[in-house]
Amino acid sequence: MAVVSESEYKGRPMIVLKSSEEDKFPFQFGLKKAKLILEAIEDIKKFVEKNDK
């Protein structure tokens, strides 16, 4: 299960996703990309279903 936290970069909020607490390379992004992900969430789900073999 993902470990989710928030941080800040140059005064802007960021969301940080890790595969575990020890993950050395987290996936992080800001509000603009978060909104883009939400707009495309169904396509992202389809992509995962199609390619998760």
Cα–Cα distance list, 47 to 10, 28, 33 (Å): 32, 20, 18
Longest dimension (CA), the chain: 40
Q: Is residue 1 over pLDDT 90? A: no
Q: Total structural domains in the chain?
A: 1
pLDDT value of residue 10 = 97
DSSP string, 3-14: EEEEEEETTEEE
pLDDT value of residue 53 = 84
Of 26, 25, 24, 23, nearest in space to 15 by CA: 26
pLDDT in tens, 3-53: 999 999 999 999 999 999 999 999 999 999 999 999 999 999 999 999 998
**Residue 36's beta-bridge partner residues?**
none
Domain that holds residue 17: 3-51
Cβ(17)–Cβ(27) below 8 Å: yes
The model's pTM: 0.82
